[in-house]
Structure 1
């Protein structure tokens, strides 16, 4: 298995050492760590891990706010190790960001399987997000082209097929996109 890096956020150095060794052994290219949420936030400014593992509670917070803060800005899978008394609250508050919450204590095999699942799930989710953003942009562009076409129909007395062809031909003649031509038409009327 060839994997990217992991960020371990944990207030216990002995546990960090154990998890770090395990993850490097499993093929992670690097295993960075932070003892607190604030240090982890700073580390994420220059380190883009494939997986973020949070052992809750942290030195400066429980870990929920940290995960909510970073979830939209990372493609990393997120796993939280939580005490039983915090499980329900964490699951409720973190399910919307796709973080996986595991009860402590946890065995190595469960951690490794969850790590693989978290990283793959997050990659799939980010891929779908990218596809969705691309589709939204195409729809927005199409609306602009349609608006320009209807301006030509109304102001230049063209038929819809003539307006469509006009935009296509002008884009080819000027070696620009139909969107750029449409934007110019909209601005000129």
Structure 2
């Protein structure tokens, strides 16, 4: 479930938007009346969406967008005259007066987009740094030298031990090195 932060300068506007979103099945984690509160709330979640008005007592929407973490998207609700012609990179805008189904549909699209991005990041294999690569290579070399294995056999052996013990490849390579050097 995506974390949603509602930020409007008028608390009653924020409560109304929160009510609409909660009835539509969204999880609203905070309702804020200032930009600083919205930034604090956004930094406390890993990722999410800030549903925001145009202006706060302490900042404008563009300043808020610049201060938000990269994993937090922004949905601006304001009259088109306020944001037309502006650089809208990293945010989606809905015009006032607001239609409830437009808000819900747009938010659903943003939630699905974030879920797709998270899924891609999860499926991407973690890249190893040079130190970890060298450690795995050293373990393979020791196995090749000591047990007359080819490099692919040594790699397969480390990989199988890793899977059998439930540890990652680097930890298994460290264990192989420590066992051979005993």
TM range, smaller chain: 0.5 to 0.7
Give the match for residue 54 of structure 1: 52
User: Secondary structure at 2:57's aligned position in 1?
Assistant: coil
Using a 3 Å threshold, how does the CA distance of structure 1 residues 141 and 110 change in structure 2: closer, same or farther? Answer: farther
Q: Of 79, 88, 96, which residue of structure 1 is paired with 2:85?
A: 88
Q: Give structure 1 stretches of 5+ with no counterpart.
A: none
Backbone CA RMSD of aligned residues: 4.1
User: Secondary structure at 2:127's aligned position in 1?
Assistant: helix
State the alpha-carbon separation in 1 of the partners of residues 25 and 143 from structure 2.
61
Give the match for residue 95 of structure 2: 103
Q: Of 74, 79, 86, which residue of structure 2 is paired with 1:78?
A: 74
Displacement of 1:118: 0.9
TM-score norm. by structure 2 comes to 0.68
Deviations 1:75-133 (A, max 9, x none): xx531224434233241x32xxxx3222333322211110111111112112212323x
Using a 3 Å threshold, how does the CA distance of structure 1 residues 101 and 36 change in structure 2: closer, same or farther? Answer: same
Are 1:161 and 2:159 counterparts? no
Are 1:25 and 2:6 counterparts? no
User: Secondary structure at 1:126's aligned position in 2?
Assistant: helix
- With 119-128 and 100-109 compared, the bigger mean Cα shift is at 100-109
Q: Give structure 2 stretches of 5+ with no counterpart.
A: none
State the alpha-carbon separation in 1 of the partners of residues 45 and 71 from structure 2.
12
Count residues with an aligned counterpart. Answer: 174
Where is the helix percentage greater, Structure 1 or Structure 2? 1
User: Secondary structure at 1:78's aligned position in 2?
Assistant: strand
Using a 3 Å threshold, how does the CA distance of structure 1 residues 170 and 60 change in structure 2: closer, same or farther? Answer: closer
Displacement of 1:33: 1.1
Deviations 1:148-174 (A, max 9, x none): 3675599x59877167438826984xx
Are 1:114 and 2:106 counterparts? yes
